[in-house]
Amino acid sequence: MQAARSQSSPARSRSRTGSWRPASGHVFVSGYVVLLALFGLVPALYSLYLAFTDASGKFSGVKNFTRSAKDYRFIPAVQHVAVYLVLWLVTLTIFVVLLALVVHRLTSRRTKAVLRFVYYVPGALAGASSVLLWLFVLDPAVSPVSKLLRWTGNDNFAQVIVPNHLPAVFTIIAFWTGAGGWIVVLYGALNTIPTELMEAARVDGANAVQTALRIQLPMLRKWIAYMLILSLAAGTQLFVEPQLVSQASFGIVGNDYSVNQLAYQYAFSQNDFNGSAAISIDLLIVALICAGFFVARGRLFETD
């Protein structure tokens, strides 16, 4: 198992013998290890190599990073993504927590199940399909909520997707496809709170709001943090939404709105793979920090 061996550090792997002996377990994991190497580790390492070299393959230090960060499009792209993330994470937290708590309090089990499913269904639409659907829903000419759009001062599609509106538009799309899944997760977490505890709170005269604030929310804290970290990591990768909006926007929205789009432009419009790799590494670091934080600190994933 050459692949597994190369990833090992003797200090990390606790084992019974302390030397590398082949075992039948290695045969079982071999296929997965090959894929993990080819599509998890190698791309990341190859990116690193590209990010620190120039077009001719010579080592170039942090030149690619400084060059791409100084690009006049880079800071705006980071700002766009940051604004979207703040709006999206705040919206997500408030409404997912509220909906999970409210659905959990309902008495009819059937209603609860139906509601959880209804909130979850849009999860079936992701990627380009959900963005397209929302392009229509946000076009006052055909929208089922055109009155609402006109009432908020948007008479045509071009007014809806001005750059200032985009963080809100992307938040709506992301919430529509993703919130239901998190509602199901938090609902499940609420079910793990011992019934005796909830009973005791009620006997002590706590009402629904007090119970939510004093018992349920502290119990949910870990899950909310988990939701935020993962949504943050995924949100930094924003690509398909601005890409399609810019395509449909008559040039109102550029094709370099998000950081990932910029990385894409570097690779495919400018043939600058080194600069593209540098931006990819920037994003990869954010994602790795988020994931690493959880594996290191979170007690959600107890491995053994």
Partner 1 sequence: MSQATLSAAARARTARPADRTRGSAARISSRGLITLFLLVFVAFFLVPILWLLLAATKSPSNLVSGHAFSIGSWHDLRTNWNHLMRFQDGAVKTWMKNSVIYAVGSLIITLLVSVPAGYAMAKMDFHGRRLLLITTLVVMLMPSAALVLPTFLELNYAHLINTPLSVILPFSFFPFGVYLTYIYFSTAVSADLLAAAKLDGCGDFKAFFYVGLPLATPIIALVAFFSFVGNWNNFFLPYVMLPGSGQYPMQVGLTQMLASTPTFNPVVGADAEVQPPELILATLLSVAPVLIIFLFSQRFLVSGLTAGGTKE
Q: What is the DSSP letter of 215?
A: I
CA distance 36 to 49: 19
Which of 164/195 has CB closer to partner 1? Answer: 195
Residues sharing a CB contact under 8 Å with residue 228, sequence separation 6 or more, in sequence order: 89, 92, 93
Which of 55/113 has CB closer to partner 1? Answer: 113
What's the min distance (Å) between Cβ of 164 and partner 1?
20
Which of 167/282 has CB closer to partner 1? Answer: 282
Which of 59/302 has CB closer to partner 1? Answer: 302
What's the min distance (Å) between Cβ of 287 and partner 1?
4
Q: What is the DSSP letter of 205?
A: T
Determine contact, residues 157/140, Cβ cutoff 8 Å.
yes
Residues sharing a CB contact under 8 Å with residue 159, sequence separation 6 or more, in sequence order: 153
What's the min distance (Å) between Cβ of 170 and partner 1?
14
What's the min distance (Å) between Cβ of 90 and partner 1?
17
What's the min distance (Å) between Cβ of 208 and partner 1?
7
Q: What is the DSSP string of 96-108?
A: HHHHHHHHHH-S-
Among residues 127, 84, 86, 125, which one has the least CA distance to residue 258? 84
CA distance 114 to 151: 32
Which of 167/223 has CB closer to partner 1? Answer: 223
